[in-house]
Amino acid sequence: MTFAALADPTRRAILARLAKGEATVLELAEPFSISLPAISRHLKVLEEAGLLIRGRDAQRRPCRLRVEGLAPVSHWVEHTREAWDARLDRLESFLQSQQATKGADSDDDRTP
Amino acid sequence: MTFAALADPTRRAILARLAKGEATVLELAEPFSISLPAISRHLKVLEEAGLLIRGRDAQRRPCRLRVEGLAPVSHWVEHTREAWDARLDRLESFLQSQQATKGADSDDDRTP
């Protein structure tokens, strides 16, 4: 859900704006050439993904970034990278062990 | 493009599998109950997003994770978090300065 919410560039731009401070729907809509209903739909997706909180002030309903909502993304990327690093480490160990075996085998062939 | 590629759970599962080592299309398709053409479409999206490399071996064409392709995601998340942290720092400084002013104003009112 978080990744799907972040898949849209307008939604990422909205979050980047909110990272600098809360804003009303009108303020968020201003830099984009899209309608208010379209902005509201984006905000709903972000809210459902746990990336945005709407204020309780009935008039303004300011939007605020929910930065904890980004954690699943960081976790997934870190987890994938760690698995990849572990694989590279195993590969390196294997190549070193091969090299050691080869070195032991060809001790007499060494050139100075 | 990277975020859109990662928005699909099957594609994330494929990348998580590839983080453990390269695999053929058949091997990747095995745990999913979807057709080979569907898997191939997912692989194409991942390849276009720079997250996957296809091997040159014409028979097997093994797939490999391109871990550098995840960098835009980490960068975006980090950048957004940093902007948020900077905002919180400014807010904290402001509150502390308010507190200091208030403390100076009410020095005589202090209770022991």
Q: How is chain B split into domains, by residue range?
A: 2-65, 70-110
- Put simply, the answer to whether B80 touches A15 (Cβ < 8 Å) is yes
Measured in angstroms, the CA of A17 and the nearest CA of chain B are apart by: 9
Chain B residues in contact with A83 by the CB 8 A cut-off are 16, 19-20
* Interface pTM, i.e. ipTM: 0.80
Whether pLDDT at A29 is above 70 = yes
Q: How confident is the model at residue A99 (pLDDT cuts 50, 70, 90)?
A: confident
The pLDDT value recorded for residue B89 is 87
* pLDDT tens digits for range B30-62: 998 889 999 999 999 999 999 999 988 777 789
Whether pLDDT at B7 is above 90 = yes
Residues near B84 by beta carbon (within 8 Å), at least 6 away in sequence: A19, A65, A67
Q: How confident is the model at residue A17 (pLDDT cuts 50, 70, 90)?
A: very high
Measured in angstroms, the CA of A106 and the nearest CA of chain B are apart by: 31
> What single-letter DSSP state applies at residue B64?
E
Whether pLDDT at A55 is above 90 = no
CATH 1.10.357.10 applies to domain A2-65: no
Please state, in angstroms and rounded to a whole number, the distance separating the CA atoms of residues B71 and B49. 12
Measured in angstroms, the CA of A6 and the nearest CA of chain B are apart by: 6
Q: Count of A–B CB contacts within 8 Å?
A: 63
CB–CB of A57/A90 below 8 Å? no
* pLDDT tens digits for range B56-105: 877 778 999 999 999 999 999 999 999 999 988 888 888 888 888 887 77
Mean pLDDT is lowest, of A28-37, A101-110, B29-38, B91-100, for A101-110
- Put simply, the answer to whether B77 touches A73 (Cβ < 8 Å) is yes
CA B88 from chain centre, in angstroms, equals 23
Q: Is A111 helix (H, G, I), strand (E, B) or coil?
A: coil
Rounded to a whole number of angstroms, the CA Rg of chain B reads 25
Whether pLDDT at B110 is above 70 = no
